[in-house]
Structure formats: structure tokens, C-alpha cells
Amino acid sequence: MTDYWAARNSEVPFVGRVAPSWPNPFPFGTAVIADMTELLAFPDIEQPLRRPKEAKSEKIKANKA
């Protein structure tokens, strides 16, 4: 919950991770995943999850197009 409150106070998007067998401690409406691979379902954070080298090469390709 500390990360949740820090994100909320900093106005940073937050996605909680809760194992399927555990109760959800986050407030209603909070995005929750069971596995970190599910983060790929959030398009706004997909780019930062890639390695910096991959992101840089994709940016260069996009600028050439």
C-alpha cells in the first residue's frame, strides 16, 4: 500500500499486483494485475518496459519513416 499512496500523492499512474489467492488491498477502481507480464496490456507503459537500446532503435526507425 505504500507504493499506492506514493503514486497517488505524486500523481503517477499505479497498477497493483495481487496474487490470485490473495485479497485485493487496493481501493475500488485501482488497476490490478496478478502477474507482471500483464503489464503489457497497458499501452501507455509498454514502451518504458522495453530495454533502452530497443526503444532507441525503434525511435530512430520511426524518424526515418
Which of the given ranges, 19-23, 42-46, 57-61, has the highest pLDDT on average? 19-23
Query: φ, ψ for residue 43 (rounded to 5)?
Result: -60, -30
Q: What pLDDT score was predicted for residue 39? A: 80
Which helix (DSSP H) or strand (DSSP E) does residue 15 occupy? strand 15-17
Share of the chain above pLDDT 90, in %: 32
**Tens of pLDDT along 33-53?**
998 888 877 766 555 555 555
Q: Look up the pTM and report it.
A: 0.56
Alpha carbon distance 3, 8 (integer Å): 8
Q: How many domains does the chain have?
A: 1
Domain that residue 20 falls in = 2-64
CA proximity to 35, closest of 51, 20, 13: 20
